[in-house]
Structure 1
Amino acid sequence: MTREWLRQQGDAYLTALLDGSPAAVARDSGARMTENTVAIPFGEGILWRGLTTAPENFRVDVIDPVSNQLVIGGLADVRGRPFLVGIRLRFRNERLIEAEHLLTDLIQPAAWPNLASPRPALGRDVPAELRNDRTELQLIADSYFDALTSEDSGRAPFADDCVRHETGLRTTGNETPPQLLLPQNTPADDRARMQILMDGMSVRSPADQIDSGLFADLQKVWPRRPIVIDEQKGLVACFPLFIQNGDVRASPLVGYPGVDRLPSPLPFSTQWLEIFKIYSGQIHEIEAPVFIPLSYGSGNGWDEGSGL
Structure 2
Amino acid sequence: MKNVHTIDSEAVPRFVADSGTEVAHARTPGHESDEARSWLKSLADRYFDALLSHSPAELPLDPQVRMTENTIAIPMGEGVLWRALTKAPEGFRVDVVDAVSEQIVVGGLLEVRGRPYLAGIRLRVLKGRIIEVEHLLTDMIQPAAWANLERPRDALLQDVPLEQRNDRVELQLIADSYFDALTSEDSRRAPFAADCVRHETGLRTTGNSTPPQLLLPQNTPADERERMQILMNGMSVRSAAEQIDSGLFADLWKVWPRRPIVIDEVKGLVAAFPLFIQNGDVRSVPLTGYPGVDRLTNPLPFSTQWLEIFKIHSGRIHEIEAPVFIPLNFGAGNGWDSGSGL
Question: Across the two proteins, how many residue pairs are aligned to each other?
Answer: 308
Q: Shift in Å at residue 191 of structure 1? A: 1.3
How do 1:199-218 residues align onto structure 2 when only pairs under 5 Å count? 199-218=233-252
Q: Does 1:290 find its partner at 2:324?
A: yes
Residue 54 of structure 1 is aligned with which of 80, 88, 96?
88
Selected match of 2:112 from 78, 86, 95? 78
Once structures 1 and 2 are overlaid, which stretch shifts more, 183-192 or 70-79?
Answer: 183-192
How many angstroms does 1:37 deviate by?
0.2
Deviations 1:124-179 (A, max 9, x none): 00000000000000000000000000000000000000000000000000001011
Q: State how far apart, in whole Å, the 1-side matches of 2:274 and 2:50 are.
A: 27
User: Which of the residues 268, 271, 282 maps onto 2:305?
Assistant: 271
Letter of the structure 1 residue corresponding to residue 144 of structure 2? A
**C-alpha separation in 2, matches of 1:60 and 1:92:** 23
Aligned partner letter, 2:221: P
| Amino acid in the other structure paired with 1:43 | G
Distance in 1 separating the partners of 2:102 and 2:153:
25
Letter of the aligned partner of 2:67 in structure 1?
A: M
**Aligned equivalents of 2:141, 2:42: Cα separation in 1:** 29
- Amino acid of the residue matched to residue 203 of structure 2? L
SS at match of 2:52: helix
Superposition CA RMSD, Å:
0.6
Which residue does 1:222 correspond to in 2?
256
Separation in structure 2 between the aligned mates of residue 27 and residue 60 of structure 1, nearest angstrom: 23
Letter in 1 for 2:241: A
**For the residues of structure 1 that align with 2:151 and 2:210, how far apart are their CA atoms?**
22
- Which structure 1 residue ranges, 5 or more long, are not aligned? none
Q: What percent identity do the matched residue pairs reach? A: 77
Residue correspondence of structure 1 range 2-13 to structure 2 within 5 A: 2-13=36-47
Aligned to 2:181: 147
Q: Shift in Å at residue 183 of structure 1?
A: 2.1
Measured against aligned partners, the alpha-carbon deviations of 1:261-298 in whole angstroms (never above 9, x if no partner) come to 10000000000000000000000000000000000000
Alignment of 1:120-135 (within 5 A): 120-135=154-169
- Write the distance in 2 (CA, Å) between the matches of 1:187 and 1:251: 26
Shift of 1:182: 1.5
Structure 1 counterpart of 2:128, from 80, 87, 94: 94
Contact 2:281 2:298 in 1 (8 A): yes
Aligned residue type for 2:315: G
Which runs of 5 or more structure 2 residues have no equivalent in the other structure?
Answer: 1-34
Counterpart Cα distance in 2 of 1:160 and 1:182? 31
Instruction: Tell me which residue corresponds to 2:276.
Output: 242
Question: Could you give the per-residue CA deviations for residues 74-96 of structure 1, whole angstroms, max 9, x where no partner exists?
Answer: 00000000000000000000000
Distance 2:220 2:336 in 1: 34
TM-score normalised per structure 2? 0.90
8 A contact 2:213–2:229 mirrored in 1: no
Q: Distance in 1 between matches of 2:251 and 2:190?
A: 19
